[in-house]
Structure 1
Amino acid sequence: MLYYQMTGFMEGDPPPPEHSLRLPDPDRAALFLDFDGTLVDIAQTPDGVVVPEELPMLLARAMDRLDGRVALVSGRNISDLERFLPGFEGTLIGSHGAERRVDGVRSPADDFDQEKIATLQRLVAEFANLQPSFLVENKSTGVVLHYRQAQELGALALHFMDTLAAAADGFRLQPALCAYEIKPDSVGKDIALTDLFARPPFADCLPIYAGDDLTDEPALAWAEERGGTAIKIGGADTVCAHHLPDPAALRALLERWLA
């Protein structure tokens, strides 16, 4: 049995499509979407993602119908999101909220200890050199250890990353699907959304949030607490009421909603 299945972090069989799911009127809604595993299928490596042909047009339609109230909320760097979706003109929240692009202007949400981040990145790289199947992803705010291609070593990856995070004051461990990330304590998707939701054009709207990962759970809860709609993609346990089986089902739901 794979390590994430043993610990309850990875989804089992995807749930059936939820035909009863009804989204709020687009005139009152704001749309917040994770990227990997939500809009696009998970790939074996971060650079291996394939963007569906219809996705850029779908996002453009959403931007037009919602008067710009669309944001992508991802653990990826903003530069990655811009590379995969170069035509998207909406808000980008990257690195779990540590980076933001609002009205076309990029800015970090906070200042972080770059010397400590560099040390963490070096230590994780040295550890990963012992196992070629590990993949290290450096971010401006921390570091991720991916083990999708070595899932039998999940417990080993957890032990190392948890110990390293515990020794780094001001940082914490963030589990994800087949990955562990060390990031600042002050960074979270829900934290970024709370700030964004206080600004136009998002203020006073009903939020719709869709995400697939453990990193999305606080944001899913945030959307429901504000009277909005939270949608878990995939079959993992979640705090929210609604599931869809995969990114294709979410894209189809959005197509119908925007029609």
Structure 2
Amino acid sequence: MPELMEPNTAALLAPPPADLADGASLFLDFDGTLVEIAPRPDAVAVDAPLRQLVARLVARFDGRVAIVSGRGAAEIDALFGGLDCPIVGSHGAELRGLEHAEVPERPVALDDVATQFNALADTLPGLVVEIKPLGVGLHYRGVPDAEVACRALAEELATSTGLTLQRGKMVFELRAPGDKGRAIAALMVAMPFAGSRPMFLGDDLTDEPGFATVARLGGAGVLVGTARATEAVYRVPDVATALRWLETIAKDAA
């Protein structure tokens, strides 16, 4: 992966221009990009305007739209009430919506991870354990002082199980191998994405492989949120601004 930019450089990134969408494919992270991050993952909902926006984007881009999330693909599909576009779930480990869907087997070691994460959560009220199809997340947003304890347990379990340790916004997750960038690259050689220029909106460290991939393929990443070291080349400050920009580029399909 190319060396990341310094955070002060990222602070100077311009917002994406409207014509960035011309002839492009659009890849969209979910939490922190299309919806605000909630205190608990199960507190997130998708309202009618967001459903309609994504449907208009699919039409605007002639089907060259995919949701790329750390959540399970089935959960994303259920939140939207069904999606007429591919879904990359579990940080790139799941790929649904193409002719040959990829859904790896769940690692058995995740059961022990869930048990140990829950044991820690029992001692520190406010921690949230999120069970995913191919991972288990330990969220400490409700108990910020628990970061050290959560990190220690997650690192210990990553070493003993061989699972991938994924750091995110106030969460440590152990999961099956997967990479948002590789999943985006796989979609980009399939129809209807092939021959277009990729564009990816994301907010978290888990999105950096996606930013690096779209840059390598001649496209652009758009960071949503506060400035930090990133492979993205554009930035918007928050979810609301990202949604307004997406509304602008979807207007042709209104």
TM-score by length of 1: 0.86
Structure 2 segments unaligned to the other structure (5+ residues): 1-6
Structure 1 stretches of at least 4 aligned residues deviating more than 4 Å after TM superposition: 14-20, 103-107
Q: Which residue identity lines up with residue 154 of structure 1 in the other structure? A: E
Gap change, CA 1:88 and 1:104, over 3 Å in 2: farther
Q: Is structure 2 residue 20 aligned with structure 1 residue 24?
A: yes
Contact 1:16 1:244 in 2 (8 A): no
Q: Is structure 2 residue 219 aligned with structure 1 residue 228?
A: yes
Contact 1:78 1:101 in 2 (8 A): yes
Of 181, 185, 196, the residue aligned with 2:173 is 181
Deviation of residue 54 (structure 1)?
1.7
User: d(CA) in 2 for partners of 1:219 and 1:82?
Assistant: 21
Deviation of residue 103 (structure 1)?
4.6
Of 70, 79, 82, the residue aligned with 1:84 is 79
What residue is the counterpart of 1:164 in the other structure? 157
Gap change, CA 1:20 and 1:236, over 3 Å in 2: closer
Q: Which residue identity lines up with residue 97 of structure 1 in the other structure? A: G
Contact 2:13 2:234 in 1 (8 A): no
Number of corresponding residues: 243
User: d(CA) in 2 for partners of 1:106 and 1:240?
Assistant: 28
Of 194, 199, 209, the residue aligned with 1:203 is 194
Q: Percentage identity across aligned positions?
A: 33
What residue is the counterpart of 2:3 in the other structure? none
Deviation of residue 153 (structure 1)?
1.2
Contact 1:40 1:52 in 2 (8 A): no
What residue is the counterpart of 1:71 in the other structure? 66
User: d(CA) in 2 for partners of 1:52 and 1:16?
Assistant: 32
TM-score by length of 2: 0.88
Structure 1 segments unaligned to the other structure (5+ residues): 1-10
Contact 1:232 1:244 in 2 (8 A): yes
